[in-house]
Structure 1
Amino acid sequence: MQQEWNSWNYFAQRKWDKYGTNNEDDPLASGDFIAEDIYVCEQQQRSLKSPYFSIGAIAKNLEQSVYQYQINLLNYMKSSEKKSGVRSQESGGDRITKI
């Protein structure tokens, strides 16, 4: 119970600046959960365009679950293409290399 009050007293003063950035424009320090979520989602979408997020080799055993998920997703996309007749972007399932 004592810790709760210590935390409350500390964070009550920082209601709109929970990370102590002193930047009113920082969405993560706004205290507005929706603004924080939107900002984080936009950052995730932006990171998908990074050249570091591309097809490459994966560890044979350690990343088996990731590999299987990607294959399942690729198969789903291929079956959706056949049903709809609309071709998605070039899929690179053959280019996944296990190391």
Structure 2
Amino acid sequence: MQRNIIDEYGKGYVHFNFTVKSLDGTVHLFFAEVHPDCREVEDVYHCTALNTIDSGHCIGCKDRRSNLHHPNDGGYLGGHKDVGFPFMEYDDSDSAGEDEWPTMIGLSEGDK
């Protein structure tokens, strides 16, 4: 499962792909957009099966999760604004200690 958290001016969205295997063994790829604290059906904003040609554009996922697939016809709420929010995360390949700074994602080397 691939997922990405998007923050657009205080509104949060989670985009993710998951697979479903039908009774005949066929595997289908899905896209979903949900509220970050999804607890109710109303927190699912969009959920759809994807076609092999789907490669919808999402600004919120293009830098952090470029391999996350989106439907061509849109329908999802988040990821349409270029907010330039600098996400922070630790590099999984390193054993980051408490005294190490996280890697800034979305900033050029000169902006750090």
Same fold (TM over 0.5): no
Query: Larger radius of gyration, structure 1 or 2?
Result: 1
TM-score by length of 1: 0.22
Higher strand share: 2
TM-score by length of 2: 0.20
Higher helix share: 1
